[in-house]
Structure 1
Amino acid sequence: MMVNRQPLIKLFTALIALCAIFGTGSNKVQADEGTTAEIVAFGDSLTAGYGLAPGEGFTDQLQAWLDENSARKVRVINAGVSGDTSSGGRARLDWGLAPVKDGKPDLVILELGANDGLRGIDPNITAENIDAMVAELAARDVTVLVAGMMAPPNLGAEYAQVFNPIFKDVADKYDMPLYPFFLEGVAADASLNQSDGMHPNAQGVKIMVSKIGPVVKKLLAE
């Protein structure tokens, strides 16, 4: 008795095609989940981890916090230089982005201006530099979390009135997220700072990361 194999062949072919479709989709999901988000922390000694042991600095602690709390794989790059001003940061922006392919990280945390204030640099110069850096990053389609700073009290109210709004003004201008004060919860607390009273100790950094971490996590999710 002759058996018509044509329907069986068509069914077998259809099953192979379906397997190929679902297999391709599965690989795509795995690739997406395996993509590592790159964050460049671009700043001064507060980013660099001045006076702290390995694992205690801002980028190390932020990396650990995100590893524990974020569903997405993350790489935090330390592009901090102790003593840097906004002018120094502006001059080395390309260098800071060099570790990332095409100079386009998923996020830049821009933390500069503290040394400008400590040195009493004209706030208009600081504003120009912060603006130029955010403008350059925006042109590259890079999201910038602008970390705000506050002027040292000894420089007086007039200086603070010009200096303090710089970061919000630039963030608003380029529609970038703002973290109002990088040292929130730590500044002026002797127990959370090193002996110089300016640089956070390991516990101080832990508090900083606990506050900024959820902001970074949300930006990566978006």
Structure 2
Amino acid sequence: MEQARPALRRTLTFIAALSLAACGSEQPIPGGATQAAADHAAGQGAGQGEATTPPAAPTGPVRRILAFGDSLFAGYNVPKDQSYPAELERALRADGIDAQVTNAGVSGDTSAAGRQRFAFTLKSMEHKPDLLILELGGNDLLRGLSPEQTRANLAAIIEAAQAQDIPVLLMGLAAPANFGGEYVSAFDAVYPSLAKQYDIPLIANWVSSVEARPELRQQDRIHPTEEGIDLLVASTSERVEAALAR
């Protein structure tokens, strides 16, 4: 998301402060640990004289993943090589999958902006991706845009991907309760309804694992820290692997 102006920053702050009202946290998936976490664990084990098992070497065909979203994928205020797509690639490779994850996150993108650039993004890729991970809607929420518009834009992206036989994994979000019951209900329904209509897997409120952990969020209280990204990868990588297998 773009550097917030004063008014927008106030909006960001109260939204994040109320994010605990969103969907409950998902349980971290042990098999989805990132390479950084694995290295840390290996160091601890070595210090205790315990034997450690090295990560599996990637096998099989290259699995190309397009991570298409906003600042949550772009890696706001963290090194590019520690963004969610970069850490996800390391986690998948540590699990033996020869993954190549392309980071197509653009900070500040709304679903409409993503819709406009999606076709160009696909054309710019040397190989068609084996999986599209679609993560948009957070900036729509911050701007109070119509959930119907968000749904229409995400639907257009999904349809464009499916027209090229590209499987889609949808990353959902949840609206804070103080947006009002009507808006919250409409926004929260966007992602499950799309998943049902297009028969695609959904990770509901995919950032929920860091929402209740303020120490894993940056000063804006929205974007995850590097450690928060590690937790997000750990709590979602198994679902990504399942989507690849699907």
Query: Is 1:193 aligned to residue 217 of structure 2?
Result: yes
Unaligned 5+ runs, structure 1: 1-32
2:243 corresponds to: 219
User: Residues 66 and 102 of structure 2 are in contact (CA less than 8 Å); yes or no, is this contact kept in structure 1?
Assistant: yes
1:21 corresponds to: none
SS at match of 2:210: coil
1:53 corresponds to: 79
Unaligned 5+ runs, structure 2: 1-58
Which of 195, 198, 206 lines up with 1:174 in the alignment?
Answer: 198
Q: Could you give the per-residue CA deviations for residues 105-144 of structure 1, whole angstroms, max 9, x where no partner exists? A: 1001000001100110011111111111111111111110
Q: Could you give the per-residue CA deviations for residues 139-185 of structure 1, whole angstroms, max 9, x where no partner exists? A: 11111001101113331221011000101111110111111112021
2:97 corresponds to: 72
Aligned AA for 1:95? F
Alpha-carbon RMSD across the aligned residues, in angstroms, is 1.4
Write the mapping of 1:82-101 to structure 2, written as runs, cut at 5 A. 82-101=107-126
Q: Which has the higher contact order (CA 8 A, sep 6+)?
A: 2
Aligned AA for 1:81? V
Q: Could you give the per-residue CA deviations for residues 5-61 of structure 1, whole angstroms, max 9, x where no partner exists? A: xxxxxxxxxxxxxxxxxxxxxxxxxxxx55211000000000000010232210111
1:107 corresponds to: 131
Query: Is 1:207 aligned to residue 231 of structure 2?
Result: yes
Distance in 2 between the 1:58 and 1:91 partners? Answer: 23
**Change beyond 3 A, Cα 1:100–1:43:** same
User: Residues 118 and 152 of structure 1 are in contact (CA less than 8 Å); yes or no, is this contact kept in structure 2?
Assistant: no
Write the mapping of 1:13-162 to structure 2, written as runs, cut at 5 A. 34-69=60-95, 71-101=96-126, 104-162=128-186
Distance in 2 between the 1:95 and 1:52 partners? Answer: 26
Q: TM-score, normalization: structure 1?
A: 0.81
Seq. identity, %:
39
Distance in 2 between the 1:156 and 1:57 partners? Answer: 32
Aligned AA for 1:72? I
SS at match of 1:79: strand
Distance in 2 between the 1:180 and 1:212 partners? Answer: 10
Distance in 1 between the 2:72 and 2:83 partners? Answer: 8
Q: TM-score, normalization: structure 2?
A: 0.73
- Once the 2 structures are TM-superposed, how far is the Cα of residue 99 of structure 1 from its aligned partner? 4.2
